[in-house]
Structure 1
Amino acid sequence: MCVCLQGYGLIGITETWWDRSYDWSVGMEGYGLFRKDRQGRRGGGVTLYVSDQLECMELYLGMDEELTESLWVRIKGSAGAGDIIAGVCYRPPDQGDRADEALYRQTGAASCSQALVLLRDFNHPDICWRGNTAEHKQSRKFLECVDDNFLLQVIEEPMRRGTMLDLILTNKEGLVGDVKLKGSLGGSDHKMVEFRILRAARRACSKLTTLDFRRADSGLFRDLLGRIPWDKALEGSHTGGKGCHPEGP
């Protein structure tokens, strides 16, 4: 019903709790389905629905993907626009270091693209995003991954019981906008997040001034160099810096 009313182009869901018994009921008309169910135990699972109007393909980053609950899809850009990689990940609260490292390697590979939008439930409630600090070692490792890959976290409000577990990460300023928190879906205790992917992303304005040496007056530069008393400067440097001393002649 939400999809029919809003006409979303991309829908990411974490903790689907699906298995093969759901194969007949999880499709949606007008959308391609990408899913990864948790194997061997109950719970977890992630899925991406992509509108049939968008040309896309699933990506396999080839880095211990069996350890992680993650999906990566490349969406082809329209004429004059680059492709976008969309990812959805779920990190269980009890996930070990090996699976964390595999997920960070995947994130690093995906962030090399020109445009990345990553939806995640990372379960790091101790992270303070304003100060970019965390209490626990695993949370600090996650912050290192975010910093090392130059990712931006765009959600500002807590979404679950006053904590910020569900995140939207991107590697391009201005790519994600109009972020809104919506009501919960069904009996979930997580809020839904609605946002726009802006194809024509803004470029960050740089205030760094650079010099254009091609416009320099080389004749004046040589003239100024010729006026420097090199013999006295060199003499001072070989006599303990006498000629350069503030109190010298």
Structure 2
Amino acid sequence: MRDTAVGVYYRPPGQDGEADEAFYSQLKVASQSQALALMGDFNHSGICWEGYRARHAESRRFLQCIDDNFLTQVVEKPTRRGVLLDLVLTNKEGLVEDIKVVGSDYEKIEFRVMGSMHKTTSRTETLDFRRTNFDLFKKLPGEIP
């Protein structure tokens, strides 16, 4: 697949704002340059994904970063103890498909990253001038009225 980045991220609980901001700046660059599928444990337990709101300032800043970079969170089922902590973010519709949350308590997420493989075929042709009739080229302009 061309121009597709797939990444993994782990944010420890209680990570400081400076580390979060460093991640957000890297995410901004990655999401602007190519198709992106980013999966990981983001540890923002205070986010209500249905209402798209957060209880804590760091979680609100995370949601703002998702919005600023035109990302979509595609996991719909809770992944740990009834909470949606493990996420898959993408900036291209249809890039991530067949999302399944599998397991009992500490679930895993299975999904497919879609893309198209393009085989480039050159349509450039080389002319063979060895068989050219140059006498005809000399004669034709003289026949134009």
Is 1:138 the counterpart of 2:54? The answer is no
Q: Deviations over 1:154-208 (max 9, x none)?
A: 0000010000000000000111000011226xxxx521111011104xxxxxxxx
* Distance (whole Å) between structure 1 residues aligned to residue 57 and residue 14 of structure 2: 13
Measure how far apart 1:100 and its partner are: 0.5
Is 1:99 the counterpart of 2:99? The answer is no
* Distance (whole Å) between structure 2 residues aligned to residue 114 and residue 174 of structure 1: 14
Aligned counterpart, 1:198: 114
Which residue identity does 1:99 align to in structure 2? A
Q: Where does 1:129-168 land on structure 2 (aligned, <5 Å)? A: 129-168=49-88
Segments of structure 1 that go 5 or more residues without pairing to the other structure are: 1-76, 201-249
The two structures have a TM-score, normalised by structure 1, of 0.45
Moved more, 105-114 or 165-174: 105-114
**Number of aligned positions between the proteins:** 116
Are the aligned partners of 1:124 and 1:139 in contact in 2 as well (CA < 8 Å)? yes
* Distance (whole Å) between structure 1 residues aligned to residue 36 and residue 107 of structure 2: 22
Segments of structure 2 that go 5 or more residues without pairing to the other structure are: 117-145
Aligned counterpart, 2:47: 127
* Distance (whole Å) between structure 2 residues aligned to residue 127 and residue 144 of structure 1: 12
Are the aligned partners of 1:85 and 1:113 in contact in 2 as well (CA < 8 Å)? no
Are the aligned partners of 1:116 and 1:171 in contact in 2 as well (CA < 8 Å)? yes
* Distance (whole Å) between structure 1 residues aligned to residue 106 and residue 93 of structure 2: 26
Give 3-state SS (helix, strand or coil) of 1:161's partner.
coil
Q: Where does 1:179-194 land on structure 2 (aligned, <5 Å)? A: 179-183=99-103, 189-194=105-110
* Distance (whole Å) between structure 2 residues aligned to residue 110 and residue 126 of structure 1: 26
Which residue identity does 2:93 align to in structure 1? E
Question: Greater share of helix residues, 1 or 2?
Answer: 2
